[in-house]
Amino acid sequence: MTDTPDKPLKINFYNTLSHAVEPFQPIDGRNVYMYNCGPTVYDYAHIGNFRAFVFADILRRFLELAGYDVSQVMNITDVGHMTEDNLADGGGEDKMEAAATRLKEAKKSGAAPVENPDDPYQIAAYFTDAFLDDAKKLGLKIATEHDTHMPHATAFVQSAMIPMIEKLIANEHAYVADDGAVYFSVESFPAYGKLSGNTLEKLRGGAGGRVEDSHQAAKRHPGDFLLWKPDTTHKMKWDSPWGVGYPGWHIECSAMARSVLKQDVIDIHTGGEDNIFPHHECEIAQSCGSTGHAQFAKHWLHTRFLLVEGKKMSKSKGNFYTIRDLTDKGIDPVVIRYELFKAHYRSNMNFTMKGIEDAASAVQKIRGAAANFAAQAGDEVTPVENDHPVVKRFLENLADDLNMSGALAVVFEFIHDPAEHSSGPAESLAVLKKLDHVLGVLLKDDVAATSGHDEAEVLCKQLDEARANKDYAAADSIRDKLIDLGYDVKTTKEGTVATKRLA
Ligand code: AMP
Ligand code: ZN
């Protein structure tokens, strides 16, 4: 057991499991173990998905700033996630297989991004790379830990999922049915339904169309869900004690969370609101059923859905955006990041182009302030701790179930009148850098506009020299050059400051 942070901040999060705001207390001192349901890599992730992922990143960064060591794991689902995943027992077609069919069609018109659309591994590899690319642009820290902390489901079938299913059978929580498939027995786990409210009685009654009919004959209870599907025709298949086949979607996250975080009970589990049922309900049953612990994750945090211009995002409405759709319009990915985190995670977020404009201007203000502080501070460095009044208020807002609008109000109040809150530009810069540990919107250029040894710095100095020598033609041409290079150029008392312009 390690120590808790020196002066622990009182953190409260809403827990979907208890339906209440609860104090956050990690199991193991200052170590936090967190699992986030990640992308299914059969297509580009959309901005709705990224709302869930940016939220997980903000949560991690906040806990880090508050003094915790966060082990974050986000999975890559490359097998087993079905097209009708809102059903208790899964239904439809494996999403990767469906993508293979779709891309084979696209290939006929030359529009498939992979060489062989029949190969789901190629599809998964292509869309995993695309996801990581987008995730890095959006400043998600987990993307830089891809090799160790972003497990691919296909790599854990033999080592973790099959052993977990065996354990569930041994513990009498799972059975092999007459159709050869392995199902989890929901009746063996009385707590089933606690997270979502979909209790066994409700499921027996069909739970508003949330159980599928096709497997009913083989199952003991209509809510029993698939752990292993024997299927020799499936494109991604593994040997197992129950025949060649593939795992259910839910078992992936239970198995990977335990394998990679190396904990039976973790502190935080996140996902979008659609993950509550059946996915997370089933994860709890599997994890507790196999480890024997009464808990899988202490805190369950779910992001509400993102809407686009007030409507549900859908391809047919044409309001379905990927990150690249927006960056192709010239929108800076950091502005998308800001837009996705600025509303409270537990309210629906309405994505609008007006919102993007406001986000761009907010990011511009924060960056501009940082550049000014940096230019004025020169080489002076003033260390700042979490008990600095501005940092403290920022953290207290986030500690209140991640009240981002409150935290952002602190940021803008500060940059509007920095002198009110700090002893000078070096302290102001240090404060802003601390806040940016969570926000993640500053570029290196912002905080080193004229103190680094980059091109802009050299040009700013040349411009100041030209002005000092009253060579205004030369000064104008250097200024134009900076603008061409994508900088906003400002004259301050301390000299020229160049800030990288947002798209
Ligand atoms: P998927 O790739 O479908 O497994 O989804 C990845 C993550 O995105 C899951 O945690 C979903 O709950 C979440 N998600 C999907 N659509 C939205 C949306 N419109 N708004 C917020 N989160 C979403
Ligand atoms: Zn999951």
CB 40 less than 6 A from any atom of ligand 1: yes
Give the integer Cα–Cα distance in Å for 229 and 182: 7
**Predicted pLDDT at 339:** 98
CB 305 less than 6 A from any atom of ligand 1: yes
Q: From the CA of 275, give the closest atom in ligand 1.
A: 12
Ligand 1 test: best mutation among 16, 274, 306, 349, most atoms within 8 Å of CB?
274
**Predicted pLDDT at 450:** 43
Burial of 238 (0-12, 13-18, 19+ CB in 10 A): middle
Give the integer Cα–Cα distance in Å for 479 and 240: 67
Query: How far is ligand 1, taken at its centre, from the CA of residue 49, in Å?
Result: 4
Q: Tell me the residue ranges of DSSP E strands in 292-392.
A: 297-303, 306-308, 311-312, 349-351
**Predicted pLDDT at 452:** 40
Nearest CA to ligand 1 atom 6: 39
CB 80 less than 6 A from any atom of ligand 1: no
Give the integer Cα–Cα distance in Å for 307 and 320: 10
Q: Which residues surround ligand 2, an ion (CB under 5 A)?
A: 37, 253
Q: In terms of Cα–Cα distance, which of 271, 278, 458, 496 is closest to 371?
A: 496
CA of 274, nearest ligand number = 1
What tens digit of pLDDT does each residue of 257-293 get?
Answer: 999 999 999 999 999 999 999 999 999 999 999 999 9
Give the integer Cα–Cα distance in Å for 181 and 197: 26
What residue ranges of the chain have pLDDT lower than 50?
Answer: 1-3, 449-453, 503
CA dihedral 190, 194, 197, 199 (to 10 degrees): 0
Give the integer Cα–Cα distance in Å for 405 and 267: 25
Give the integer Cα–Cα distance in Å for 94 and 249: 9
Where along the chain do its domains lie? 12-303, 307-439, 454-500
CB 270 less than 6 A from any atom of ligand 1: no
Pairing of strands 266-272, 245-247: unpaired
What tens digit of pLDDT does each residue of 284-300 get?
Answer: 999 999 999 999 999 99
**Predicted pLDDT at 492:** 76
Query: Any idea which architecture 12-303 has in CATH?
Result: 3-Layer(aba) Sandwich (3.40)
CB 272 less than 6 A from any atom of ligand 1: yes
Give the integer Cα–Cα distance in Å for 369 and 177: 64
What tens digit of pLDDT does each residue of 192-219 get?
Answer: 999 999 999 888 877 666 776 666 778 9
CB 72 less than 6 A from any atom of ligand 1: no
Pairing of strands 311-312, 306-308: antiparallel
Pick the CATH number of 307-439 from 3.40.50.150, 1.10.730.10, 3.40.50.1100, 3.40.920.10: 1.10.730.10
**Predicted pLDDT at 258:** 98
